[in-house]
Amino acid sequence: MLILFREEVITRELEQSGAIVSSKRTHFNRTKALSLLLVASATVGYGCTKSTDTAGVNSPKNALLQVVTRTAEPIPEARLIRSDYAANEITKLCDAAIAKISQRLDAIAALKPEQRTLDNTLLAYENASADFSDETGNLTFMNYVSTNDALRAEGSACEEKIGQFSVGILTRRDLYNALKDQKPRNPEEARLLSETLEGYEQNGMKLSDEKLAEFKKLKGELASKETQFSTNLNNDATQVAFTAEELVGAQPDFLARLQKNAEGKYIVTGKSTDYVSVMENVTNAETRRRMLEAYLNRGGEANVKLLEEAVALRSKIAKVMGYETWADYRTVTRMAKDKKTVTEFLSSLRGKLAERNAQDMAKLLAFKKELEPSATTLNQWDLAYLSAQLQKRDYNLDTEKIREYFPSDVVVNGMFAVYSRMLGVKYVEVTNAKVWADGVKLYEIREASNDQVIAYFYADYFPRQGKYGHAAAFPLIAGRRMADGKYSIPVASIVANFTPPTGDKPSLMTHDEVETTFHEFGHIMHQVLTRAPYASLAGTSVAQDFVEAPSQMLENWVWSPVVLPMISGHYKDKSQKLPQDLLEKMIAAQDFMQGYSYTKQLLYGSFDMSIHTQGEKVDTTKTYDQLYREIIGQEPIAGGKFAAGFGHMMGGYDAGYYGYLWSKVYAEDMFSIFPKEDIMSPEVGGRYRKLILEQGNMRESIDLLREFLGREPNSDAFFKKIGI
């Protein structure tokens, strides 16, 4: 579990109208080992309060679905996440951790060849890296969640410092030489050695000293720019002021929670919850245009410049390493293995999706003409609004009405009931836990069979100034086998931005937010149910184009007629489940605008591959706008800077965003194994836990898939899902 640090951010950004990562999630891979230089692994967390009145929970068959709130047993201090740092304390602790691991690694490198053993080299290296990640994970986490501006700044500085330090470690020949000739004694050690050495070799170990020095310099510059980009987005305070007349159509609850400026205008922030509310409901097209323009300018010119500079640095690094492009360099360690495979995959999807997307666009234009007979074209700021309103008309689906049946506490408790039955775990809230902000909760995860505590997670659900703006799961302490043979208890946190409570109403979630929650929760389960012996190979430290598959598979549960009653309950009377007629309409509408939805994912993956195959000079705005025209078939908004807010490109998904679609193929294939008559089957769920979640990166992802499926993976279920 190395030094990682931000090299895999899979976050769910609630995007509408083609603004940003279309309802997909973010995942921070922090537990890869030093040798793999990955970063905070984002997986979602659990939150759970009292047992809900969900269907079937109290039956004897489902006894393990019980979710309880009670005072848990004392938690070891080492498993708690601090937030009460004094001024400069994060900086001091960060520096001390770097100094400590430096001494440990220097000692490994100083061993003479005849003194070296696998225990005092490879395993000592792995343990030092894992300890370092555990010690610093919480420090950098403060950058994303602390309520204190100064602590967030210190966390960001620590993150950047670690990024620079990791480059230095992974370019040390003395360490590589100490590791490379070791002889593993079993398959576990063989896997650790091969993955560790691959990490070093991908960081220039086979280069000349001159080229290695150049590589190291470029990687250090790149790490700095990536951190600056992320910090700019976290600190973004985009706001747009509108009059009441300009917000006609907005939901009363939304307006009630907005603040007003001195002129009496409503202040709408750039947070995804505000953005989606405006784009889906406000009738005034100019209001939507202004909102979209503001949203697409989060991070501004500064972030556009940082990304384009990063692309140039990446191109130089690839050339130093002997690759034609950054995409060639990055894909070699993934399931796809090369750029050609990725481009062929995206091209084949582009052809298959084009007709479905064109049908969806024609449907929206026809609806717009009904509202505006003189209309001849669609605007980018029309798409989310027309989609939402057309869905209301054709399926009689009112998203605001649906929200009333998804109070966040009911959703979370119901979700725990689902996962509890399927995976054999249960959840206990820890009362009076020390947390970093009001409303944050801490939970135990217990083995249902013996009540043993196997993990902890924090739940930080609601938006606030300075907090990470979307939904992600952060593993903070990794699972691994310790020297005494015991297994380290993992700790993770879900960081989300649910629609907050308003007036006399609790937090009410859209069905899309419910789907996001199931997805992110799946990341957490992948992280904390790991049984891999090494932190660098544990949990979500798998091939990047597979890591989303386990969580994407779990999105299917929120469409199940069996599960929906379990995760719903009207906020005024939670015994009133989602009505059958509304449930049937939701399921019938599931395919609505699927062509457009998947085409947006294709757009983002194509944009990523395009900018990372053009060389050092790239105009990200021009590239995005051109691809938007070609793939979506519409004109993009003038003045938009999509790239400025596309955090994936600076968070580890560079030349990797295709993985959302790639892994979706595997996700649907895995889902096909669950019996329709028992979607929460403990038998199949147990196999899924053992063969997918527990394994981490101890085996190749494709081999895990083959064993779970009992056959070669295929794309049949995926194409059936999207109707092509």
Token reading at 153:
């700044």
Displacement of CA 555 from its chain's centroid (Å): 14
State how far the alpha carbon of 594 is from the alpha carbons of 349, 387, 505, 589, 601, in Å. 13, 11, 32, 10, 11
CB 215 within 8 A of CB 203: yes
Two tokens, residue 598: 């998947």
- CB-based contact 657:345 (threshold 8 Å): no
CB 520 within 8 Å of CB 480: no
Helix (H, G, I), strand (E, B) or coil at 197: helix
Taken in order 168, 173, 175, 180, is the CA torsion positive or negative?
A: positive
Best CA proximity match to 122, nearest among 36, 181, 201, 186: 181
Determine the residue type at 373.
P
Q: How far apart are CA 447 and CA 425, in angstroms?
A: 5
609 forms beta bridges with none
Catalytic site positions = 520
- 3-state secondary structure string, 127-178? HHHHHHHHHHHHHHHHHHHCCCHHHHHHHHHHHHHHHHHHHHHCCCHHHHHH
Provide the 10 A C-beta neighbour count for residue 341.
15
- How far lies 493's CA from each of 93, 148, 480, 652, in Å? 21, 19, 18, 19
Residue with tokens 């299917």: 556
CB atoms < 10 A from the CB of 233, how many? 21
Q: What DSSP element (H or E) covers 428?
A: strand 425-430
Phi, psi of 391 (to 5 degrees): -65, -40
Cα–Cα distance between 299 and 475 in angstroms, integer? 26
Task: Say if strands 441-447 and 453-460 run parallel, antiparallel, or are unpaired.
Answer: antiparallel
Q: Are 195 and 333 contacting, i.e. CB atoms less than 8 angstroms apart?
A: no
CA 325/CA 328 separation, integer angstroms: 5
Burial classification of residue 712, based on how many CB atoms lie within 10 Å of its CB (0-12 exposed, 13-18 middle, 19 or more buried)? exposed
Which H or E element spans position 393?
A: helix 383-395
For the four alpha carbons of 216, 217, 218 and 224, in that order, the dihedral sign comes to positive
Neighbouring residues of 39: CB distance < 8 A, sequence distance ≥ 6: 4, 5, 6, 7, 8, 9, 28, 29, 30, 32, 652
Structure tokens at 149: 């501006």
Nearest in space to 463 (alpha carbons), one of 501, 503, 519: 501
Decide: 333 and 200 in contact? Cβ < 8 Å. no
Taking each helix axis as running N to C, give the angle between helix 272-281 and helix 383-395, from 0 to 180 degrees, rounded to the nearest 10. 60
- Work out the end-to-end distance of the chain between its first and last CA atoms, rounded to an integer number of angstroms: 41
What residues contact residue 3 under an 8 Å CB cut-off, 6+ apart? 33, 34, 37, 101, 129, 132, 133, 162, 165, 166, 169
